[in-house]
């Protein structure tokens, strides 16, 4: 099966974007993070909000598309088990050997444990609740931090594969009408925006994100439908043509909605606004901001897919390597940046040099670890989600099952 180069490239950029985003989390004022720099600034909140609205929805919808493109007609349960193991192994290894280093830095920084890495790891690897340890997840005894994305992909994938298999006999009962492009485009805009608006208006205030898989109603309500939508739209050629055709409109709507949301937030900080009766502000300000947020999230996703189809649908020479490396970099990046910040912060390098070193060092060390160690080790490759190297074939050889599977989009 032919690869979607635009989706592969967009996935690479989306995962690499996590590096500057999580580095910035250490420097943005008033936002919690596992380890904070002493050089925090408030202005970083604005670009962070603009990115935050679509960065994880983009990854979930791309993962759904990849699953929809890769799902075979036969052997779906074997495929489901193989995919689950491909995701579960890096998650488990990450909890034990990668994210545990983040927990150590966070716990020592918070004063919850005494310095001493091996003593910390020995206690951490017992996976018992650790009250007062001072790291995210201490109440459970372990944490997956940024790897929560993998923990959510596994049940989402199994659910969609099961539903697709069970409902497969009903596919011929679906009406074959052909509504106009304008009708499809209008419904494709309004229905997802209405759903996202309900999640941010109703669920988000009552169920803030936990990323703990359980008791995370808002994240599931936002992420699972996007994952399912990507799965359903993966092979819908007409839909992709409409996304490409309307990319300028969706980009304009996204910029307008972003401006409205950020503008309302900025107005809320003007002198005098805080003194108004909150009941007066509740409906026009809070509701308008969240409606703009929902519109921005969905139109930004549509614009990203449309412009990616226009600009990135070509076989870039760097893409095969980046496609393999980026998942490994995703697993490593937050731990590497926290270790770098933990080491550099006592040096008092200043508000410019320190973040630049953390950013450049995180990217460089992740690439070096992937290139120099992980991709060259048959033992480490599956632990970081890197596929086995493709076996070279001679001219005339029949394609093997393993070789054919390499043509499918990688997960997540």
Q: What pLDDT was estimated at residue 387?
A: 83
Confidence of residue 60 (pLDDT cuts 50, 70, 90): very high
Q: Give the lowest-confidence range in 177-181, 184-188, 348-352.
A: 177-181
Structure token pair of residue 1? 């099966």
* Distance between CA atoms of residues 47 and 52, nearest Å: 8
Q: Please write down the HEC assignment for all residues of the chain.
A: CCCCHHHHHHHHHHHHCHHHHHHHHCCECCCCCCCCCCCCECCCHHHHHHHHCCHHHHHHHHHHHHHHHHCCCCCHHHHHHHHHHHHHHHHHHHHHHHHHHHHHHHHHHCCCCCCCHHHHHHHHCCCCCCCCCCCCCCCCCCCCHHHHHHHHHHHHHHHHHHHHHHCHHHHHHCCCCCCCHHHHHHHHHHHHHHHHHHHHHHHHHHCCCCCCCCCCHHHHHHHHHHHHHHHHHCCCHHHHHHHHHCHHHHHHHHHHHHHHHHHHHHHCCCCCCCCCCHHHHHHHHHHHHHHHHHHHHHHHHHHHHHHHHHHCCCCCCCHHHHHHHHHHHHHHHHHHHHHHHHHHHHHCCCCCHHHHHHHHHHHHHHHHHHHHHHCCCCCHHHHCCCCCCCCCCCCCCCCCHHHHHCCCCCCC
Number of CB atoms found within 10 A of residue 112's CB: 17
Over 90: is that where the pLDDT of 181 sits?
no
Bridge partners of 41, per DSSP, are 28
Query: Which has the higher per-residue pLDDT, 77 or 397?
Result: 77
In the predicted structure, residue 399 carries a pLDDT above the cut 50: no
Mean pLDDT of 29-42: 95
Q: Averaged over 286-293, what is the pLDDT?
A: 89
Average pLDDT over residues 30-44: 95
Mean pLDDT of the chain: 89
Tokens of 203: 């669920």
321, with CB counted inside 10 A (0-12, 13-18, 19+), is middle
Residue 400 has pLDDT above 60, yes or no: no
Q: Are 50 and 262 in contact (CB under 8 A)?
A: yes
Burial of 347 (0-12, 13-18, 19+ CB in 10 A): exposed
Q: What percent of the chain has pLDDT over 70?
A: 88
Give the tens place of pLDDT for each residue, 4-27: 999 999 999 999 999 999 999 999
Contacts of 223 (CB under 8 A, 6+ apart): 56, 57, 60, 152, 156
The answer, yes or no, to whether residue 245 has pLDDT greater than 60, is yes
**pLDDT, position 411:** 36
326 Cβ contact partners less than 8 Å away, ≥ 6 residues apart: 11, 12, 15, 16
CA distance 225 to 296: 17
Res. 396: pLDDT tops 70:
no
Amino acid 172: pLDDT:
56
CB 240 within 8 A of CB 313: no
pTM of the model: 0.90
pLDDT number for residue 237 = 92
Return the axis-axis angle of helices 148-166 and 217-233, rounded to nearest 10°: 50
Kindly indicate the confidence band of residue 171, based on its pLDDT and cuts at 50, 70 and 90. low
Confidence of residue 408 (pLDDT cuts 50, 70, 90): very low
* CB of 133 closer than 8 Å to CB of 107: yes
Query: Domain segments of the chain: what residues?
Result: 5-165+179-390+398-405
Mean pLDDT on 74-82: 93
* pLDDT for 200: 94
């Amino acid at each position: 099966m032919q690869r979607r180069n635009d989706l592969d490239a967009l996935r690479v950029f989306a995962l690499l974007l996590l590096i500057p985003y999580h580095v910035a989390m250490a420097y943005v004022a008033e936002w919690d993070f596992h380890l904070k720099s002493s050089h925090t600034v408030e202005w970083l909140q604005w670009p962070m909000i603009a990115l935050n609205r679509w960065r994880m929805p983009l990854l979930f919808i791309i993962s759904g598309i990849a699953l929809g493109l890769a799902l075979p007609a036969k052997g779906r349960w074997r495929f489901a088990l193989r995919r689950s193991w491909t995701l579960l192994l890096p998650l488990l290894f990450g909890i034990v050997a990668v994210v545990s280093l983040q927990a150590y830095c966070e716990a020592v920084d918070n004063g919850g444990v005494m310095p001493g890495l091996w003593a910390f790891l020995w206690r951490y690897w017992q996976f018992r609740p650790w009250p007062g340890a001072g790291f995210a997840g201490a109440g459970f005894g372990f944490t997956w931090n940024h790897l929560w994305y993998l923990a959510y992909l596994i049940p989402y994938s199994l659910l969609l594969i099961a539903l697709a298999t069970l409902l497969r006999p009903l596919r011929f009962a679906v009406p074959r009408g052909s509504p106009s492009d304008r009708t499809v485009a209008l419904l494709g805009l309004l229905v997802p925006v209405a759903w996202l608006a309900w999640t941010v208006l109703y669920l988000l205030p009552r169920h803030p994100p936990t990323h703990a898989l359980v008791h995370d109603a808002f994240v599931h309500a936002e992420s699972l439908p996007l994952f399912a939508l990507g799965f359903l739209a993966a092979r819908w050629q007409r839909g992709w043509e409409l996304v490409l055709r309307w990319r300028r409109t969706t980009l304009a709507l996204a910029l307008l909605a972003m401006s409205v949301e950020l503008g309302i937030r900025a107005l809320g900080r003007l002198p005098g606004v805080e003194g108004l009766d909150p009941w007066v502000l509740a409906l026009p300000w809070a509701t308008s901001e969240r409606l703009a947020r929902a519109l921005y999230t969905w139109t930004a996703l549509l614009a990203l897919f449309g412009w990616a189809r226009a600009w990135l649908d070509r076989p870039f020479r760097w893409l095969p390597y980046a496609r393999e490396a980026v998942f490994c970099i995703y697993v490593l990046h937050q731990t590497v940046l926290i270790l770098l910040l933990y080491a550099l912060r006592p040096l008092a390098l200043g508000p410019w040099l320190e973040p630049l070193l953390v950013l450049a060092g995180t990217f460089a060390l992740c690439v070096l670890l992937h290139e120099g160690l992980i991709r060259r080790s048959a033992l480490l490759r599956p632990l970081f989600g890197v596929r086995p190297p493709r076996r070279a074939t001679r001219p005339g050889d029949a394609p093997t099952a393993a070789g054919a599977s390499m043509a499918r989009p990688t997960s997540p």
